[in-house]
Amino acid sequence: MGEKLKSLIPWWTHKILQDNTPFRKFHITKGLGAGGSWGAAIWHLYLALEINNAPNSTSWVIAPTYAQIEDPCITTIVEILEKIYNMHEGEDYKLNTSGRPKIVFKNNVTISFRSAEKAQNLVGSNITHIWVTEPGLLKETAFGKLTGRMRSPKSNRLQWLLEGTPEGDTHWRKLADFPEGVDEKLNKVRFILHTADNKFIRPGYVEEVLQAYGHDEAKKRSYTLGEFADFVKGTAYWEYSEARVRVFKTYKDPKRTLNLAWDFNKSPLAWVCFQRFYHEKLYTRREVFEVHGVSDGEAKGLLDAVTDFGHQYPVEIFGDTLIEIDGDVSGNHGSWKTDGSDYDNIIKYLKSIGYGKIVLKVPSDNPDVRPRLERVNALMAYDRIKVDTTCQNLHHSFSKTQLVPGTFILQKERNDMWSHWSDAFGYALWRITKSENLEKPRAKKVVGINNL
Give 423 or 139, the one with higher predicted confidence.
423
pLDDT digits (tens, 9 = 90+) for 91-114: 999 999 877 899 999 999 999 999
Same domain, 190 and 270: no
CATH number, domain containing residue 45: 3.40.50.300
Q: Mean of the pLDDT values across residues 352-358?
A: 96
Same domain, 60 and 132: yes
pLDDT digits (tens, 9 = 90+) for 427-449: 999 999 988 877 654 444 433 33
Tell me what the pLDDT averaged over the chain comes to: 88
Task: Give the contacts of 299 (CB within 8 A, at least 6 positions apart).
Answer: 268, 269, 305, 307, 308
Same domain, 40 and 177: yes
- Which span out of 31-35, 156-160, 322-326 was modeled with the highest average pLDDT? 322-326
Residue 228 within a domain: no
pLDDT digits (tens, 9 = 90+) for 129-151: 999 999 998 988 889 888 777 78
Same domain, 16 and 138: yes
pLDDT digits (tens, 9 = 90+) for 294-340: 999 999 889 999 999 999 999 999 999 999 999 999 998 866 456 78
| Residue 361, burial from CB neighbour count under 10 angstroms (0-12, 13-18, 19+) | middle
Range of the domain at 304: 242-451
Give 246 or 334, the one with higher predicted confidence.
246
Q: Which helix (H) or strand (E) holds 181?
A: strand 181-183
Same domain, 188 and 78: yes
Residue 203 within a domain: no
Task: Give the contacts of 114 (CB within 8 A, at least 6 positions apart).
Answer: 60, 61, 62, 63, 69, 100, 121, 122
pLDDT surpassing 90 at residue 391: yes
pLDDT value of residue 285: 76
Record the pTM: 0.77
Last residue of a domain, one of 174, 197, 220: 197
Distance between start and end Cα atoms, the chain: 58
| β-bridge mates for residue 30, sequence order | 193
Share of the chain above pLDDT 70, in %: 92
Same domain, 192 and 248: no
Count of domains for the chain = 2
Lowest mean pLDDT: which of 182-191, 350-359, 404-413? 404-413
pLDDT value of residue 441: 47
pLDDT value of residue 2: 63
Same domain, 77 and 160: yes
pLDDT surpassing 50 at residue 68: yes
pLDDT digits (tens, 9 = 90+) for 164-183: 999 888 899 999 999 999 99
**What is each CA distance from 140 to 64, 103, 162, 358, in whole angstroms?**
12, 27, 14, 47
pLDDT surpassing 90 at residue 369: yes
Alpha carbon distance 155, 177 (integer Å): 28
Edge to edge, the sheet with strand 246-247 lists 246-247, 385-388, 285-294, 270-280, 258-263, 323-327, 358-360
Q: Is 262 helix (H, G, I), strand (E, B) or coil?
A: strand
Q: What is the DSSP string of 119-165?
A: GGG---S-BS-EEEE-GGGS-HHHHHHHHTTB--TT-SS--EEEEE-
pLDDT surpassing 90 at residue 286: no
Residue 229 within a domain: no
pLDDT value of residue 11: 93
Give 69 or 259, the one with higher predicted confidence.
259
CATH number, domain containing residue 438: 3.30.420.280
pLDDT digits (tens, 9 = 90+) for 253-278: 999 999 999 998 767 889 999 999 98
Same domain, 270 and 407: yes
Same domain, 180 and 246: no
Alpha carbon distance 328, 296 (integer Å): 18
Share of the chain above pLDDT 90, in %: 60
| β-bridge mates for residue 160, sequence order | 25, 130
Residue 225 within a domain: no
Residue 211 within a domain: no
Alpha carbon distance 421, 1 (integer Å): 52
Same domain, 250 and 317: yes
Same domain, 49 and 142: yes
Q: What angle do CA 175, 179, 184 make, to 5 degrees?
A: 70
pLDDT surpassing 80 at residue 362: yes
Residue 430 within a domain: yes
Same domain, 168 and 271: no
Instruction: Catalogue the E-assigned strands of 264-392.
Output: 270-280, 285-294, 323-327, 358-360, 385-388
**What is each CA distance from 63 to 67, 72, 155, 232, in whole angstroms?**
9, 9, 22, 24
Residue type, 79: E
pLDDT surpassing 60 at residue 451: no
Residue 207 within a domain: no
Alpha carbon distance 115, 100 (integer Å): 9
What number of helices (H) and strands (E) belong to the chain?
Answer: 16, 16
Residue 204 within a domain: no
